[in-house]
Amino acid sequence: MLLKWQRYRGGIMGRIEGVFARRKKPAFIGFTVAGDPDKDTCMRAAMALVEGGTDILELGVPFSDPVSDGPTIQNADERSLAAGTTVDTVFEIVRQLRKKTNVPIVFLTYYNMVYHRGIDRFYQEACEAGVDGILIADMPFEESDDVYETSLRYGIDLIFLITQTTSNERIKKIAARAHGYLYLVAVLGVTGVRDTVSSGAINLLQRVRKHTAIPLALGFGISTPDHAKVCAGAGADGVIVGSAIVDIIEKDLGNPDNMIGNLKAYVEQMKKAL
């Protein structure tokens, strides 16, 4: 595993880095909960996102207490867990997706999941499965030393959240440790569809840009083509959509074929807006 990181550091561009290096417009980052509503349907949904044009696929590792997420994603976590999804299942989903796509895959998880399995073991298995980045939603930057060193060892991008309440000094410290992209939280609160992109989100984007050249992706509350246009116009390197995608999945739980078509069409619409 050390060899992979040495090659990565030696000039071989990682998949996430490649997306932003090649882009001519903001990247579309699509999120779904791994195993929602079951393993097979989740994999079909993930591939629909990819076929629709998703540049980076975020998979939520289902957790019983997802404190950063609103009701939509909480419900998806519950459906996934009820279907028997475990961390082993999530790694298997990634391994199967890697047989079909080279799109970068990022985990969004919580520290309990990583710590319980063992930091080194979690990252080693993620690396072997084909994961490109990991965002631990409830891990403070100040407590990230062990995870940071492990992410370097396995060549997995460590992605951090930055919110509107993050100080400039802290932004500098976070940016110095981040790889892949920074996830800028566009709202004050949890995930969920919003009516507009707030001026606070745009101000955050402009403020963080002064301190780093790492790609900046706006997420939380972004759901419509108009939202995507606003983010692109403000200079975002990427937009992250989660709840709107999970909504589509939830509305068609009884009709997977319709779900797949709607997911692909939604991503195509958002990509066009960007």
Domain count, the chain: 1
Among residues of the chain, what percentage have pLDDT more than 70? 90
Domain-located, residue 187? no
CATH number of the domain enclosing 139: 3.20.20.70
- What pLDDT, on the 0 to 100 scale, is given for residue 194? 47
In a domain, 208, yes or no: no
Is there a domain that residue 231 lies in?
Answer: no
Residue 2 has pLDDT above 80, yes or no: no
Confidence at residue 33, expressed as pLDDT on a 0 to 100 scale: 97
Q: Is the pLDDT of residue 12 over 60?
A: yes
The answer to the question of residue 175 being in a domain is no
* Reported confidence tier of residue 188, pLDDT bands at 50, 70, 90: low
Residue 1 has pLDDT above 80, yes or no: no
Q: Is the residue at 203 inside a domain?
A: no
Catalytic (active-site) positions: 58, 69
Q: What is the pLDDT of residues 207-219, one digit of tens each?
A: 999 999 999 999 8
Mean pLDDT rounded to a whole number for the chain: 90
> pTM for the whole thing?
0.91
Domain of residue 54 covers: 2-8+26-164+238-267
Angstrom distance (rounded) from CA 49 to CA 248: 12
* Tens digits of residue pLDDT in 22-58: 888 999 999 999 999 999 999 999 999 999 999 999 9
Residue 55, domain member (yes or no): yes
The answer to whether position 48 is within a domain reads: yes
Does the pLDDT of residue 159 top 50, yes or no?
A: yes
pLDDT digits (tens, 9 = 90+) for 258-270: 999 999 999 999 9
Q: Is residue 93 part of a domain?
A: yes
50-97 tens-digit pLDDT: 999 999 999 999 998 876 677 899 999 999 999 999 999 999 999 999
pLDDT given at position 221: 79
Q: What is the pLDDT of residue 191?
A: 47
